[in-house]
Structure 1
Amino acid sequence: MNILSPVAMPAAPIVRASAIIAAAHQLLAMLERGQRIDNAGLRTAMEIAFEASDASGVWDWKTAYEACECATVLFLRKYGRALFRKADTPAARLSALSKVSGLLPTHTRRSEESQAHQQFSTPVPLGLAAIAAAAIIPRDIVLEPSAGTGLLAILAEISGGSLLLNELAETRADLL
């Protein structure tokens, strides 16, 4: 007979979101230095923020990728408007944002929650293409019915749009 029990009880959503944001701030510092975030650096940030390793079951790699996305949102919130002013064409913006995206690890692992909610992260360059196609202006209200960690939304905000966001996953909603 097999008895399955979790290694650790999952953290409550708001506590989980706080830890993800704490990790994101550590990762933001790496992005600001132009430092590539590799698995070792990401693991360290997550272990510090969650005070546990991934082996404990308190966090998984999908959660780590969400911390990277939050770090990207923080980076864009801090530098995005200046970046858009300096890089005033879609091609120039794509080049600049691709450099930032190139510092992030690729998403190679999924969680049960990400599969259940069919969560897929919008790559920043694809988000930029969507924002350029939408031609958002300051009086636009941008509705995002499944906002995830806010990667697409932050680009709309930088472009001058007002945001109305929704997210079904509790932790991701708390990150917004």
Structure 2
Amino acid sequence: MNVMPPVALPAAPIARASAIIAAAHQLLAALERGQRIDSAALRTAMEVGFEASDVTGVWDWKTAYEACECATVLFLRKYGPALFRKADTSAARLTALSKITGLLPTHTRRSEESQALQQFSTPVPLGLA
């Protein structure tokens, strides 16, 4: 008899959102310190937020990138007004946003579905435009 290990079911929408926000808050702390978020740091934040590894299937790297985007929004909600007062031109704002997003990992891990459907996030500096 083959016994398969238990596989975690995807989190309910509210629990999933809460886990993403929890991971985003951990990532926000790194952004506030000006610390680059690498794959290891992102994995740790996701494992803490979801209380599970990606191998369980509870979260994937697309979800991890969503947590990075949430962390960026949290950062801009907290520091954006002051940042934009100091960077009073579009060029200065673009530079500031590029510095923030430069701390985030690139979206190098994409599912076949995302690639097939051309589902890509809009980069924050492009969103400014």
Cα distance, 1:81–1:23 mapped onto 2, change above 3 Å: same
Over the matched positions of the two proteins, sequence identity in percent amounts to 88
SS at match of 2:35: coil
Q: Which has the higher helix share?
A: 2
1:54 maps to: 54
Contact 1:60 1:111 in 2 (8 A): no
Residues 11/116 of structure 1: CA separation in 2 closer, same or farther (3 Å cut) = farther
Instruction: Quickly say closer, same or farther: Cα 1:44–1:98, change in 2 above 3 A.
Output: same
Instruction: State how 1:103-122 maps to structure 2 within 5 Å.
Output: 103-111=103-111, 114=114, 119-122=119-122
- Are the equivalent residues in 2 in contact too, given 1:23–1:45 (CA < 8 A)? yes
User: Hey, which bits of structure 1, 4+ residues long, moved more than 3 A?
Assistant: 111-119
Residue type matched to 1:86 in 2?
K
Specify the alignment match of 1:87 in structure 2. 87
Unaligned runs of 5+ in 2: 1-5
Larger relative contact order (CA 8 Å, sep ≥ 6):
2
User: Structure 1 residues 23, 113: closer, same or farther in 2, change over 3 A?
Assistant: farther
CA–CA distance in structure 1, aligned partners of residues 39 and 13 of structure 2? 24
Question: Once the 2 structures are TM-superposed, how far is the Cα of residue 113 of structure 1 from its aligned partner?
Answer: 7.0
For each residue in 1:1-59, what CA deviation from the matched residue of structure 2 results, as whole angstroms up to 9, or x when unmatched? xxxxx832111111100000000000000000000000000000000111110111111
Aligned length: 126
1:9–1:64 Cα change, 3 Å: same
- For the residue of structure 2 that corresponds to 1:65, the secondary structure is helix
Q: Which residue of structure 2 aligns with residue 147 of structure 1?
A: none
Q: 1:114 to 1:12 in 2, by over 3 A?
A: farther
**Distance between the aligned counterparts of 2:77 and 2:110, measured in 1?**
26
Where do 1:63-74 residues align within 5 Å?
A: 63-74=63-74
Tell me the CA shift for residue 121 of structure 1: 1.1
Superposed displacement of residue 111, structure 1: 4.1
Deviations 1:119-171 (A, max 9, x none): 42110110111xxxxxxxxxxxxxxxxxxxxxxxxxxxxxxxxxxxxxxxxxx
Using the alignment, how far apart are the partners of 2:118 and 2:12 within structure 1? 21
User: In the TM superposition, what is the alpha-carbon distance from 1:112 to its structure 2 partner?
Assistant: 6.8
Q: Secondary structure at the match of 2:72?
A: helix
Contact 1:50–1:59 (Cα < 8 Å) also in 2: yes
TM-score normalised by length of structure 2:
0.89
Q: Could you say which residue in structure 1 is the equivalent of 2:10?
A: 10
- Please give the root-mean-square deviation of Cα atoms over the aligned residues, in Å: 2.2
Unaligned 5+ segments in structure 1 are: 1-5, 130-176
